[in-house]
Chains A and B, each alone.
Chain A
Amino acid sequence: MSLVKETIINDPSAQAPMLDLHEIQATVLRIRPAPYFGVHVILSVDDARAGREAIRRLTPYIDSAKGWRIAANAWLGVGISYTGLQALGVPRESLESFPEAFRVGMAARASQLRDEGVNDPKNWDPPFGTGQVHIGVTAFSDSEEKKRRALAIAREQYEGLSGVRVLFMQDFGAQPGDLNPLGYKDGIDQPAIEGSGDEPLPGQGPRIKAGEFILGYPGEAGVPLPMPQPDVLGRNGTFVGLRKYQSRVGAFNRFLRAHGSTEEERELLAAKLVGRWRSGAPLTLAPDVDDPALGADPRRNNDFDYANDRQGRKAPFGCHIRRMNPRDTELTRLTDVNIHRLIRRGTTYGPPYDPNALSEEADETPRGAYFLFISSKAMATMEFLQQEWIQDGDFIGAGDERDPIIGRQEEGATFTIPREPVRRRVHGIETFNVLRGGEYFFMPSLSALKWIGDLTETNSIGPKER
């Protein structure tokens, strides 16, 4: 018990697994293009046979991660919820091999996810949390035209099948400068994955074992994570948590104006909340004034740690990026930061950020983001992040404070900015991004999609209501 610094002896003969890139869906590893254009489609399956027909027809058009560095074309991805797997007639023993949190769905895990108050599933937009969300199809592209073509191909596969309904469609992307709804460049810091063939960008940190993000490979503990059965269904698949956020742009702008009397003060405060200037330049490297060239350079904009910011005087402990990836920050609780990472695919919808929107009506202008959080244990990681790193501040010495960007705030919430000689405590933090929907999806490998599409009535249990 006296030994604090421990090492697990790695087998030197063990090679980093080369991933089956031709099996893994492109969305898992392919970086969002810039600029990006896309659409989310949600399908509901009323008839198992028709549902499988749609999967069978879609599968040849679902892109693998092979050759994923080339992001010049449009690609399609597909995810299936637990009620979707039921509706498609996946056999009972397979269904039971999925993790509990996935089976009950995101809405039923609201208390573990701290999705309470304004974020309570009872306030969500349809069709989220209804059990009717079965299949999610997403098209990603670098142009509007290619997105339209990809969508047209997808539609040909499911339209006209009686027993498969389109519940919902949402365009995303196409923002000037690819800024998010609060006006920041985002999606910069992604985990580096061992065996994916990508060269980590400076500051991306050590490569994390592939098994943390893709099923069937060793994770950080040296063994593969539990996998849905049979093997062909689970292997090379992963889980996706979808979260729909409505950005309260008016409230955000009102907050900045209430606490900054000049444009410079407001922009510094905006940067302190996130840990980056709107340009993406990190405060750790540009603590006093924005450096747009730094923000735009992927080889420099993430190349930092917190060794020279132990007091949080550049990037406050409670800022969004220091919470979501504390790097080498000394945490109050024993934590392995490598096992709480997620691949993030932010997809922004609605009109672009308007710095002059101040009204309460602006808070409800449909505008926000659908976030895809990808990991072999997405459910457990999201619950951990919500409980420990988003809806609490104790882990980083910030007491009761919550994430200023995606946290749900209580009346009287504060944000502390460490400073010499005394810290500044900003009052009046509100919930700037409200949760309006969420679902868990399984993102199967291409072989698994084929397996699902080829299921027959004899081994299926037919559609079932939740």
Chain B
Amino acid sequence: MATATANRPKQNLTVDQKLQVLRELYADAPEIGKAALKNGLTTLTEELAAPGRAQTAGRIGARQGKVSELTVFLPFVKGGAKRLRGLLELLEGNFRAADAVGTVHDMRFVFVDNDTKLLFATAYDGDFDPYIEDFASKIPNAMDLWLCNFEGYPGMRNAKAAADWIANHQIAAEAWYVNSPNLTAPETRRLEKVGKAVEGLLDQIG
């Protein structure tokens, strides 16, 4: 349900009720927090009065506008951390497959818990489920090359199982903020081009 809001239970509260909940939550907060609640009340009241922007993405995860988040904790197989770290170092920040996918805004690879797990977090447009078969058909090797380093990964040629495997490792973000929620990655690239063209035109006129 792409349009469902994430924080349903709090959706129907009035601003006063929300403030009351916050006061209760912060009753035992450190002094800094209590002071912040009191001093920041004006801004906070405006924020709480604004219509909610939080939505859910696909099967699991949060979305704002057109941009979704995907956060996974993936357990490494033996030697997996070493291989992936080596691969990432050699790529030196070039991710051609992500460029090809077209909808990926960013990706971060964080090795945690003594190199036993990877925290992978990305922002992308829409849902990934509808395109999983396209990944399997177009970039199976690029996907398998890095995901083979994790426990239980079924391989991209088994697209449905791979999608399930990702969803099973996914942790929905509690909150998600997107600065330009209506700008997809392709739209951003298009606007970059349009912007350049307009500047060029203005240069000629001026």
Contact = CB atoms under 8 A, between A and B. Distances in A.
B135 interface: yes
Contacts of B134: 333-336, 339
B173 interface: no
Interface of A: 1-4, 6, 8, 111, 220-222, 226, 331-336, 338-339, 383-384, 387-388, 394-395, 397, 399
**Nearest 10 pairs of A and B residues by beta carbon:** A332-B186, A336-B137, A333-B102, A334-B101, A4-B96, A4-B100, A1-B142, A336-B134, A384-B130, A1-B97
Chain B interface category by residue count: 35 or more
Contacts, number: 95
Interface of B: 1-2, 66, 87, 91, 94-103, 125-127, 130-131, 133-142, 145-146, 157, 159-160, 184-187, 189-190
B139 to A, nearest CB: 6
B96 A3 contact: yes
Report whether over half of chain A's contact residues are helix, strand or loop; otherwise say mixed. loop
A4 B102 contact: no
Contact of A6 (B103, B142, B184, B186): B142
B138 A336 contact: yes
Contact of B87 (A1, A336, A384): A1
A2 B96 contact: yes
A394 B125 contact: yes
A111 B2 contact: yes
Contacts of B130: 383-384, 387-388
Contacts of A1: 87, 91, 95-98, 142, 145-146
Contacts of B98: 1
A3 B141 CA distance: 8
B178 to A, nearest CB: 15
A226 to B, nearest CB: 8
A392 to B, nearest CB: 8
Given A333-B131, A334-B100, A336-B133, A397 B138 contact: no
Nearest to B182: A400
Given A1-B145, A333-B131, A6 B91 contact: no
B177 to A, nearest CB: 21
Nearest to B3: A111
